[in-house]
Amino acid sequence: MTFANDTEVALISAAALINTGKEEPDQLTTLADLDRFLAEQDFSGSRAHTANELAAVVQLRAELEEVWTSTEDDAVAHVNRMLSDARALPQLVRHDHWDWHLHATGPEAPLEDRMATEAAMALVDVIRTHEMERLRICAADDCSAVVLDLGRNRSKRYCDTGNCANRAHVKAYRARKSATG
Residue ranges of the alpha helices (H) in 26-148?
Answer: 31-40, 51-68, 72-85, 111-128
Q: What is the pLDDT of residues 133-172, one digit of tens each?
A: 999 999 999 999 999 999 999 999 999 887 999 988 888 8
At residue 91, what are phi and psi to the nearest 5 degrees? Answer: -155, 150
| 8 Å CB contact between 168 and 139 | yes
Does the pTM exceed 0.85?
yes
Provide the percentage of residues in the chain whose pLDDT is more than 90.
Answer: 81
Q: E strands of the chain, at which residues?
A: 91-95, 98-103, 135-137, 146-148
The burial class, CB within 10 Å (0-12 / 13-18 / 19+), for 9 is middle
Provide the percentage of residues in the chain whose pLDDT is more than 70.
Answer: 99
Q: What is the pLDDT of residues 6-37, one digit of tens each?
A: 999 999 999 999 999 998 899 999 999 999 99
- Contacts of residue 172, Cβ cutoff 8 Å, sequence gap at least 6: none
